[in-house]
Amino acid sequence: MEGNKEGTRLSLKHQIIAIISIVIIGLAIFLSIDLYMDHKFIMEISNQCYDINGFPVVERSSLFSGDFTFSCERQ
């Protein structure tokens, strides 16, 4: 009977590892999509600034935060 308990524990460990792996991969995908969308938005407003002969100034508060300030300085 002890052999069955060990088999169950390994199975439970594998399930926990699989769940943790899926959560980590999901968070990584979510973060990547969020960073991509932020980059795409910043590029769009920067191009609009260039279109009016301005110079875009973007300051991000941190790499993984969506917070940033944007200004279009005209020359």
Q: How far apart are CA 68 and CA 75, in angstroms?
A: 22
What was the pLDDT predicted at 64?
A: 67
Quickly state the pLDDT bin for 1 (edges 50, 70, 90): very low
Q: How far apart are CA 47 and CA 42, in angstroms?
A: 9
Kindly report the pTM of this predicted structure.
0.68
Mention every residue, 6+ apart, whose C-beta is less than 8 A from residue 52. Answer: 72, 74
Mention every residue, 6+ apart, whose C-beta is less than 8 A from residue 38. Answer: 66, 68
**Model confidence pLDDT, tens digit, residues 46-74:** 999 999 999 999 988 876 677 889 999 98
What was the pLDDT predicted at 18?
A: 94
Q: Which amino acid is at 52?
A: I
Q: Which amino acid is at 51?
A: D
Q: Would the pLDDT of 45 be above 70?
A: yes
Question: Which of residues 60 and 3 earns the better pLDDT score?
Answer: 60
